[in-house]
Amino acid sequence: MGSAVDAATMEATQRLIKKKPTVVFVLGGPGSGKGTQCANIVKHFGFTHLSAGDLLRAEIKSGSENGTMIENMIKEGKIVPSEVTIKLLQNAMLESGNDKFLIDGFPRNEENRAAFEAVTKIEPAFVLFFECSEEEMERRLLSRNQGREDDNIETIRKRFKVFVESSMPVVEYYESKGKVRKIDAAKPIEEVFEAVKTVFTAQDDKVAA
C-alpha cells in the first residue's frame, strides 16, 4: 500500500487520531432496515451517519476527477478500491465537527476492513449487526415502492449472496473480538429500536465509566 497512501491521507489520519472518534460499523443485509434505524440513532444519540454508498454517489455527482474515476469503475462492474472509499469517509469525519460516527454499509468485505484499520488506525467501538431472514428482507424489498429498479427478485437474491459471501466474514472477524452487537431486525421498527437503544445506552455507560 506504500505509495497509495499519499501525504494528504496521512495528514487526515493524524488529524482524525487526535479527534479520538467513536466509530460504529452498521451492517445488515439489503432490506434489514439499517437506514431507518441509523436515522433513529442520529436523533437519539447524536451520532453522524455516514453511508459509504451515499459518499461515493455524491463524489460522482460533484464531477470531480475522483468522481469520474469512481463512476467509470462502477459502470465496468469493478469494485471501487478501499482507499478511495476510506478517503471519502475520513474527509467526511473530519468535516463533520462531530466525534461519533455510524458508518453504514462498510466495510463490505475483509479487504475493506483491514484497509480501514490500516489507513485510519481506528478500530470500531462495536459492530451493530441487523440480523434478518432472507425471506423477510425479500418481502420488504419487493413491497417498498421507491422505484428502485434493482428491487427485482433476481437482483435481490444476488445482493443477498454477495452480502453473505463478502460481509459475513467481517461480522465473524469482529465477533471473535467480542465487538458484535446483534439485533433481531425482523421485529417491528419500534421494537428493533428499543433493542438498539439498549446497546447504545450500555456503550454510553461504558464510556462514562
What CATH number is associated with residue 197? Answer: 3.40.50.300
Measure the CA–CA gap between 182 and 127, rounded to whole angstroms: 8
Q: What pLDDT, in 10s, does the model give residues 153-203?
A: 777 777 777 777 888 899 999 999 999 999 999 898 899 999 999 999 987
User: Is 108 a domain residue?
Assistant: yes
- The radius of gyration computed from the CA coordinates of the chain, to the nearest angstrom, equals 17
Please name which of 86, 121, 91, 126 lies closest in space to residue 106, comparing C-alpha atoms: 86
Whether the bond between 30 and the residue before it is cis, its omega within 30 degrees of 0, is no
**147 pLDDT more than 60:** no
Task: Give this prediction's pTM.
Answer: 0.84
Cell 422505484 locates to: 147
pLDDT at 75: 83
77: annotated binding-site residue?
Answer: no
67: annotated binding-site residue?
Answer: no
User: Is 209 a domain residue?
Assistant: no
178: annotated binding-site residue?
Answer: no
Q: In the numeric block, which cell numbers belong to residue 162?
A: 454477495
139: annotated binding-site residue?
Answer: no
Q: Residue 59: give the domain boundaries.
A: 2-204
113: annotated binding-site residue?
Answer: no
